[in-house]
């Protein structure tokens, strides 16, 4: 099989691609990376992201959001 015929599979995304994929800004993603809030792979100074890891992370975030009770109204402080 020629190299031209082989399908190139992209395993990782750049920070720009990952930010666009999950619907946030590039700068917000970098802030989350700095705080270790989102899964990433450090490759020197570059940060790379796997689609599968981001998908799992987003599912976990959805579950956490559903578990939190919704507080409405104003609480009185005595």
Domain CATH number, residue 55:
1.10.1660
* Residue 3 within a domain: no
How far apart, in whole angstroms, are the C-alpha atoms of residue 59 and residue 38? Answer: 12
Q: Where are the alpha helices (DSSP H) in the chain?
A: 15-22, 26-34, 51-67
**44 inside domain:** yes
Summarize pLDDT for 12-52 with one digit per residue, the tens. Answer: 999 999 999 999 999 999 999 999 999 999 999 999 999 99
Angle between helices 26-34 and 15-22 (to 10 degrees): 100
pLDDT for position 66: 86
Residue 45's SS3 state is coil
Residue-range definition of the domain harbouring residue 49: 12-67
Structurally, the chain folds into a number of domains equal to: 1
The predicted model scores a pTM of: 0.73
């Amino acid at each position: 099989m020629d190299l031209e015929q082989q399908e190139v599979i992209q395993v990782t995304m750049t920070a720009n691609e990952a930010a666009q994929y999950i619907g946030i800004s590039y700068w917000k993603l970098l802030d989350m990376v700095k705080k270790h809030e989102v899964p990433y792979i450090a490759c020197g100074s570059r940060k790379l992201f796997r689609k599968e890891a981001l998908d799992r992370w987003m599912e976990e975030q959805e579950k956490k959001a559903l578990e939190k009770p919704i507080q409405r109204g104003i609480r009185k402080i005595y």
